[in-house]
Each structure stands twice: as C-alpha cells, then as structure tokens.
C-alpha cells in the first residue's frame, strides 16, 4: 500500500450529505474483474448525463457541467471535502478503489459510515473527521478561493489551510502506523516473513511432501 | 491435560505466530483458485509488485462460469456465449500464465469443480490446510485437512504471504452411530444433521463428523458430508484419517511417492482426535433412524424425511419460525400440498461439488437403468464434477444408461448449482437437485429447489415427483 505521510493538494467540495457507495460507484461496475480502473466511473450518475456501462470509453460522454469534479478549477483535486455520513450503503470495497483510482488521497467529512471508513485505510486513503463547523468553514474557504489547497500532515494529525490555520483530527494509533508506513494487511504479515520462513524450514523436515514441486 | 481434537492438532501444526489480540498467523499448504473470486486478488498482487509466496501451493481451474453443453465446449473459451463469463475465464487463464500457477484450463481433461479436482488429483492431502475463495472448501475436511472458504482479499493475502490471519474456532463433534439403511446416503446423513442442529448450529465451530456410520462412508460420501458443514453454519468440517482415506489418496498424481509416501502415511496416522479430547459440544444421531431426506423450503434446515408431511406454518409454536415457514411456503408454492409426492417436478439436476463424483453418478445410474424419465419433466441433466469423472463414467457406460433413460449427459462444471451459466430454472419451476443450497433464486430467478441425494433425484426423475427410492427400485 502507498504510504500516507504528508500531502498537499487541491480540495474539491462535494456539498451533499449521506453520499452512499452506490453514488460513489454504481452497481453495474461491480462485475469488473479489476480493482483499478474505477476512477472514470467515480460518482458516475452525478458526473455524467447518460447511464454508464462497464468497459465504456467515458471520454465522449455528456458531462453534468455543474458537478464539482467537472469544474475547471477543481481539476487535479486530491482531497474531497464532504458532508456527514459519507460512504453509507453497501460494503463494496469498490468505493475506496474508485476514489483512489481517481486520484483522491483523503476525504474530509463530519462523519463516515463504518465499513467505508475501515475500507479506506485498507486502500491507502485517509478519511478525516472534523467538526461540522470546521468542515463548514473549509467549504466556504474552498468555494471563495480558486486553487485552494490543503495540506494534511498525518504524523502531526493536522489539516493545514492556506491561511496557516490548523485543524487537528483523531486517528487510531495502529491505523496511523500502517498508513504512515504504507502497510496493508499483507504488508503487515510480510513483516513477519522471517517467522514464516522459519516455520517452513521446520515443516519441510517433518512433512517434506508438502513442499514438492507439482509436475504438470 | 485433556487430549487434543483433530482440529486442535491441525491448528497447532500450522501455527506460525500467535498474536496478542487472540488472532494468529496460520500457514496454508494449498490454495485452490477459480475464476470468480480470484481476479481482484491477482490485480492486487500486480498493483503492489508482489509475487506469489510459493507457486507450488496453488492449483487453479475454471468451474463456476463454464458452459456444460458439448456444443459450447467444443471451441474452449471462445465457445462461452456470455461475455462477462468469458472475461472471467480468460482472466483466470491469463493470471495463471503470468504468475506461473498450475491451471487445468477448460479444454484440459482434469478441469472440473475445484472441490472435485483437488482431491481427485491428490492435491488435497491429509493434514494440510486448504483454502479457496469458495465457502464449500469445507469439502476437503473429509481428508482430515483443515479447510475453509475465504474472501477475495484473503485470497490475495494467501497468495502473497502463504498465511492467513485467523482466530481459533470451538470444537463440535457430530456422531452418527450405527449403520445406515439401504439407499440412505451421505447426503441424507448431512441433511438430517442440518435438520437437527439448524443452519446456524455450527456457527463458530469446527465440526468433526464421527461415529460408525461416518466411518463406513467412502471418501466420496465423506466429502459430501463435509461439503455441507457450511450449510450447518460451520466453516470447517472434518473427518478423521483412516485406511479408507489412505487408500483413496495412494497413487493419485500429486500424492507423495516413495519414501515420502511412507513418511506421510506414518504422520497421518495421528490425524484423529485423542480418546480423551474435549469437545465444546457433542451431537448424536442414530444412523438407522435416518431416512431419505428432501428439503421442502428455502433453507437447508427446512428438510424432512420422504415419508413425512410438509410442516405447516400454522403448526409452528415459535412466531419467528411461523413467519419464516409462511414465507417459504409462499415462495415454494406449497398451498394445497400435503406431502412431497404432491409436488410436480419440472427439472432434475444431478451434479455440483456435493454430488458429482463417480460414486454419485453410479448410484443415480443404478436407479434409472432400464427406466424412463417422467414425460411431465422439462429437463433432467447429469453434470459430472470433472473431466476425469466424466471419462470414468463413460468407461463404465453410465452415460448410455442416463441418455437411454432420457437424461442429458453434460460437460463438467458448477452448472445449475448456482445458475451462473446458461443452466437455470425458470420462475416457479420445481427442481430435484443434488446441490447444496435451496435459497430463493439460487438456481434461477423464482426457481424452487429441493435438495436430495443422487439416488433420490434419479427416482424423482423417473416418477416425476418425489418418491422413496426404496419403493421405486422394488417396482
Ligand atoms: S458446485 Fe455449486 S456450491 Fe460447489 S463450488 Fe460450484 S457453485 Fe459453489
């Protein structure tokens, strides 16, 4: 997993509460055999005027010009500013996959749905909870200033605005450790590689047949 | 100190690391892969630039999506009409080629349902840990192996690390004493067990099946029993290793040979629960009491013996059960019906990882031999579990018996078990099926599934409705 230490990027304000995972990535895209490539269908129904199909080339599709990610000033954004209960609905891991694939590194909201919140950490995406007032303030500043960038310092647990104003946030120590070091579940287990190898060395002595090469 | 159960022994011998939070790293000896739950796992490996930890521990074959008609199978992958199915099968092929994983492709005679193929090849061995992105991986517990289904992220985890993060389960013993009556099979035994303990009865447990009736079963029968442990809520089903196990494994392509074989056989003799082992729960059934079983509702626990009346919702004391029964009655269209014989069948399916091995086909063939399927039936299909099962059956002439009786003889795959390919039930159709799940819509939208043994499915095909196979063969 890609580590998350400090990140500075354009913030895009999605002024909508209860954004569910079906809005983040509609169900017709779940048939995909991939974990990547969902970025072009992120917020598909909010973003395009027509109904998206899997494997479709999205370049010529009619856009909803007013949707935040379609506006010129938010191109290249990597921090999503959202309202309460972001990521509710089904447990699909495709939602964080889509945000990540689009290029988002963090979502800032007053609250998140549980499963989505957990899934973010597994995929190198940092969900940040700030108070309603703080989020509101950020929304106003973003909308008033074109090219508005936020800096997120995970080590210090702070969101830093262009004015220098700082907003502290909470994050579970273990998750923080994993994100800072880019450790996913697999990465964590691989830290125990020596223990796994030691097990194999013992096991091959008592049960060598388990390690024989299979011949086709 | 009390002795160890078989599950305890398997757990201990695969423990890589115990963690403070109660979870543990468990070493995995064999991972079986199929096309539906593996694509994102391979994609994950690629994204992170990871390689499989140990290539020899994986074996792959497409099964869920593959078509089973001879016509479609002639041109291999290109014969798959459904584009999404085709992509999944092609992706498995490409991934296995890219990462160097052994795969029995669609045109390989060894292709088949993963849970048939693993044991058939001797890839599944006693004392192993076996995983697969499929809940019926419990099947492999028949060999005294610790086997269970996992999710896609875990498939990736095992590919990359050869380990799984697990918490230890509790131990349950289900003992079936005495001998079984004629035409009472492993399927009837496991359905009777599920009927007794319920679909959540085994939740959180590893179930060991024991007792005389279980020990008397062939390996095929034992696999049928362990296969459906998951339908009793248990991710793991187990049966102790004995001579039957060893005889089955001997000389299989992937089984150990020479000195390693002797070493293995000696090690496997310990794969039984100690006499003084403590189980958290013990359930006992009397083999002689078990009659041929048929499910009447939409959960495997909604099961009765062939001679019982279908239980009515209004007779249920528990209000939750009453409501569940009422919903099942409506879905299954049981109004006005009293016994299982009153249900007119539309289709019969003999196949799936529960009952598509050679013994299952022999048992069904014996019943239909010299008889004809009922004219009221729309379709009766026999889908062997693997290319090798199919070849064996054809060598024995079973396919001719089936086709002479009016059943279709198909190519290997999951087929009508889950209706991911073209084989499915129409709305409202009743099907006697040897598969393992009778949930709403499982075999097709609005389809009505009745789970039975191969012999009972065969008898139902002849009669056009459910009958006790014992009565049919006497005629
Ligand atoms: S036969 Fe049915 S239950 Fe078995 S693996 Fe295939 S789909 Fe799953």
Q: What structural domains and CATH numbers belong to chain B?
A: 6-167 (3.30.499.10), 170-240+252-289 (3.40.1060.10), 293-474 (3.30.499.10)
Across all residues in chain A, what is the average pLDDT?
91
Q: Which chain A residues in 24-63 lie under 8 Å from chain B, judged by CB atoms?
A: 31, 33-36
For residue B272, the model assigns a pLDDT of 98
Distance from CA of B186 to the nearest CA of A (A): 30
For residue B399, the model assigns a pLDDT of 98
Identify the segments of chain B with pLDDT beneath 50.
Answer: none
For residue B445, the model assigns a pLDDT of 82
For residue B12, the model assigns a pLDDT of 98
- Residue A36 clears pLDDT 90, i.e. is over it: no
Q: How confident is the model at residue A214 (pLDDT cuts 50, 70, 90)?
A: low
For residue B408, the model assigns a pLDDT of 97
For residue B200, the model assigns a pLDDT of 87
Q: What is the pLDDT of residues A84-139, one digit of tens each?
A: 989 987 667 789 999 999 999 999 999 998 778 878 987 899 999 999 999 999 99
What pTM was estimated for this model as a whole? Answer: 0.85
Whether the complex's predicted ipTM surpasses the cut of 0.90: yes
Interchain contact, A34 vs B29, CB within 8 Å: no
B417 is in an annotated binding site: yes
Please count the residue pairs, one from chain A and one from chain B, whose beta carbons lie less than 8 angstroms apart.
85
Q: What percent of chain B has pLDDT over 90?
A: 84
For residue B450, the model assigns a pLDDT of 98
Domain ranges of chain A: 4-182
For residue B254, the model assigns a pLDDT of 95
**Three-state SS annotation for chain A:** CCCCCEEEEEEEEECCCCCEHHHHCCHHHCCCCCCCCCHHHCCHHHHECCCCCCCCCCCCCCECCCCHHHCHHHCCCCEEEECCCECECCCCCHHHHHHHHHCCCEEEECCECHHHHHHHHHCCCEEEECCHHHHHHHHHHHHHCCCCEEEEECCCCEEECCCCCEEECCCCHHHHHHHHCCCCHHHHHHCCHHHHHHHHHHHHHHCHHHHCCCCC
For residue A216, the model assigns a pLDDT of 45
For residue A91, the model assigns a pLDDT of 63
Q: What percent of chain A has pLDDT over 70?
A: 97
Pick the residue whose CA is nearest to atom 6 on ligand 1.
Answer: B414
Q: What percent of chain B has pLDDT over 70?
A: 99
CATH of A4-182, one of 1.10.10.10, 3.40.50.720, 1.10.540.10, 3.20.19.10: 3.20.19.10
In the predicted model, what is the mean pLDDT of residues A187-205?
Answer: 96
């Amino acid at each position: 997993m890609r580590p998350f230490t400090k990140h500075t990027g354009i913030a895009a304000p999605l002024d909508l509460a209860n954004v569910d995972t079906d809005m983040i990535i509609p169900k017709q895209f779940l048939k995909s055999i991939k974990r990547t490539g969902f970025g072009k269908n992120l917020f598909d129904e909010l973003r395009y005027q027509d109904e998206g199909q899997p494997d479709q080339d999205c370049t010529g599709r009619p856009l909803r010009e007013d949707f935040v990610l379609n506006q010129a000033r938010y191109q290249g954004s990597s921090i999503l500013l959202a309202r309460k209960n972001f990521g509710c609905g089904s447990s699909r891991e495709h939602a964080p996959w889509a945000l990540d694939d689009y290029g988002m590194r963090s979502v800032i909201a007053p609250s998140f749905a549980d499963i989505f919140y957990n899934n973010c950490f597994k995929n190198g995406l940092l969900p940040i909870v700030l108070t309603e007032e703080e989020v509101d303030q950020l929304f106003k500043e973003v909308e008033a200033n074109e090219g508005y960038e936020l800096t997120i310092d995970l080590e210090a647990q702070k969101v830093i605005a262009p004015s220098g104003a700082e907003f502290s946030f909470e994050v579970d120590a273990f998750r923080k450790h994993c994100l800072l070091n880019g450790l996913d579940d697999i990465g964590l287990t691989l830290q125990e590689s020596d223990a796994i190898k030691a097990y194999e060395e013992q096991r091959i002595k008592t049960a060598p047949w388990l390690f024989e090469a299979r011949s086709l | 100190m009390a002795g160890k159960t078989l599950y305890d022994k398997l757990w201990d011998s695969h423990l890589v690391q115990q963690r403070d939070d109660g979870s543990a790293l468990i070493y995995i000896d064999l991972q079986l892969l199929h096309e539906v739950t593996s694509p994102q796992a391979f994609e994950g490996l690629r994204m992170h630039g990871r390689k499989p930890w140990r290539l020899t521990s994986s074996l792959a074959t497409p099964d869920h999506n593959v078509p089973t008609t001879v016509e479609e199978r002639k041109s291999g992958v290109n014969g798959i009409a459904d584009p999404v199915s085709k992509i999944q099968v092609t992706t498995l092929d490409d991934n296995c080629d890219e990462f160097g994983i052994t795969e029995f492709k669609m045109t390989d005679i060894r292709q088949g349902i993963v849970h048939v193929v693993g044991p058939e090849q001797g890839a599944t061995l006693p004392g192993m840990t076996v995983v697969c992105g499929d809940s019926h991986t419990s099947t492999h517990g028949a060999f005294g192996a610790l086997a269970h289904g996992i999710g896609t992220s875990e498939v990736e985890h095992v590919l990359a690390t050869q380990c799984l993060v697990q918490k230890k389960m509790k131990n349950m013993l289900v003992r079936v004493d005495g001998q079984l009556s004629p035409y009472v099979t492993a399927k009837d035994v496991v359905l009777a067990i599920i009927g007794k303990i319920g679909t959540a009865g085994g939740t959180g447990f590893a179930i060991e099946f024991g007792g005389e009736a279980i020990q008397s079963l062939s390996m095929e029968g034992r696999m049928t029993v362990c296969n459906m442990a998951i339908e009793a809520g248990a991710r793991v089903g187990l049966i102790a290793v004995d001579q039957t196990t060893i005889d089955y494994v001997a000389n299989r392509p992937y089984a150990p040979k020479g000195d390693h074989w002797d070493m293995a056989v000696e090690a496997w003799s310990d794969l039984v629960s100690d006499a003084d082992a403590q189980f958290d729960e013990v359930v006992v059934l009397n083999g002689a009491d078990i009659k041929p079983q048929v499910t009447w509702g939409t959960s495997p626990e909604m099961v009765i013996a062939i001679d019982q009346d279908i239980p009515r919702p209004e007779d249920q004391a528990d209000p939750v059960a009453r409501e569940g029964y009422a919903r099942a009655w409506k879905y299954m269209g049981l109004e006005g019906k009293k016994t299982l014989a009153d249900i007119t069948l539309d289709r019969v399916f003999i196949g799936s990882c529960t009952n598509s091995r050679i013994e299952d086909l022999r048992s069904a063939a014996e019943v239909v031999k010299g008889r004809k399927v009922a004219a009221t039936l729309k379709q009766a299909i026999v889908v062997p579990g693997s290319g090798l099962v199919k070849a064996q059956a054809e060598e024995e002439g079973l396919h001719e018996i089936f086709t002479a009786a009016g059943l279709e003889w198909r190519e290997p795959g999951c087929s009508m078990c889950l209706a991911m390919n073209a084989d499915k039930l129409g709305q409202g159709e009743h099907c006697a099926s040897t598969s393992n799940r009778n949930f709403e819509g499982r075999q097709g939208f609005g389809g009505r599934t009745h789970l039975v043994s191969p012999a009972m499915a065969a008898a139902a095909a002849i009669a056009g409705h459910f009958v006790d196979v014992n009565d049919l063969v006497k005629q």
